[in-house]
Amino acid sequence: MLLVNQIRENYAVSLAGLQKRNIANAASILDQVIALDDLRKSTQTQRDQFQAEANSISKQIGQLMKEGKAAEASAIRERTAQIKEQIKELEDQYTKVEEDLKALLYTIPNVPHASVPTGKSAEDNEIVLQQGEIPSLHADKLPHWELIKKYDIIDFDLGVKITGAGFPVYKGKGARLQRALINFFLDEALAAGYTEVQPPILVNEDSGYGTGQLPDKEGQMYFASADQLYLIPTAEVPITNLYRDVIVTEESLPIRNVGYTPCFRREAGSWGAHVRGLNRLHQFDKVEIVQITHPDKSYETLESMSSYVQGLLQKLELPYRVLRLCGGDMGFTSALTYDMEVFSAAQERWLEVSSVSNFETYQTNRLKLRFKGDDKKTQLAHSLNGSALALPRIVAAILENNQTPDGIRMPKVLHRYLGFDSI
């Protein structure tokens, strides 16, 4: 969440950033934050003043008792009782104001970086670069939802039977392709200096608040109510929460972790003809990279993470483009996001396969994730994450772009993982 001091000291920047996100009442929201913070501070000041008076009276009572002036001491005690009641009322008020302030801050998205373009939807995103040759397919090309039936490698009907729509069953070479991609992505991350972790796929409420998935206004997370746990929408949640309430050393930065997990998203209200097949699922596999960095280096790190994901797409021989998301299309917690999209030759459109984001201090403020420098002072670190990569649309693009009349060629980089070169 945003820092109150950040809002106070950079009010104009904060206001412009929220307006870039198309929040019409941004000024009113920021003014409420400042008003609640003023009330919190004044309440604390009053409480401290009463506490100081109580301490002074306590000393007076002690002195009077030493001097044998019990009657005078007893009279003063009546004032002490009044002060204690006032202190209790102020402490209750302070707690209520602090809770109201935190609740309000939870509803405010991150302030976009200055480079984020103005816009309201995906149509306003900025194309940063495009690379790779778009394949020219034979006349009888098929979309992946037809290819998977033809070669019997992914079964949506079985998934419906077992669970419901959006939960496919991968089988045969389809399952082996999934495993090959996961191992390839993990091996590449390890070679790039990331440390592999295997986190839980259920998280508690504190973890959801820590990375900004809660409050879950859209109801997109699956909730196990009996145990008050959430199925993760991405490995970003448990991996970043490894460092909740932690103070790391400056020398340990950057911290780089990678993890493979299944991911679960309700995707409420997002179904239609444009999300057929693997284009949008309730359960899917993803390899996630997460970095904790020094604030001075987080944007340099963002660029390197973007380049790293592009390298994976190049090795998979997929044409891709990089988008800088506009204010209206950014995630709630992000300060700057790059989306990577691959071209689906059979569907003849671009498919998002990765988002790489810098959250600056938005998550670390919630997490209380800090680092201590040589001066022994603590400050908030910056957090970043990226999909490297999400599998469903990568699989869709591989199947569609590499189809021939005789089968589907597999990217060369996967051959040693697959044990076969075509389907």
Residue 248 annotated as binding site: no
% helix, strand, coil for the chain, step of 5 = 45, 20, 30
Place of tokens 């990217």: 411
**Cβ proximity of 278 and 396 under 8 Å:** yes
Using alpha carbons only, how large is the chain's radius of gyration in Å?
Answer: 27
Cis status of the peptide bond prior to 109, with omega within 30 of 0: no
Residue 422 annotated as binding site: no
Residue 304 annotated as binding site: no
Residue 349 annotated as binding site: no
> What is the number of helices (H) and of strands (E) in the chain?
13, 18
Residue by residue, what is the 3-state secondary structure of 92-103? HHHHHHHHHHHH
What is the rounded CA–CA span in Å between residue 316 and residue 273?
27
Residue 266 annotated as binding site: yes
Residue 13 annotated as binding site: no
Residue 234 annotated as binding site: yes
**Cβ proximity of 339 and 128 under 8 Å:** no
Residue 365 annotated as binding site: no
Residue 334 annotated as binding site: no
User: Which letter, b or e, does each residue of 319-333 get, where b requires 16 or more Cβ atoms within 10 Å of its Cβ?
Assistant: bbbbbbbbbbbbeeb
Residue 366 annotated as binding site: no
**395 three-class SS:** helix
Annotated binding site: 234, 265-267, 288, 352-355, 385
Annotated binding site for L-serine: 234, 265, 288, 385
Annotated binding site for ATP: 265-267, 352-355
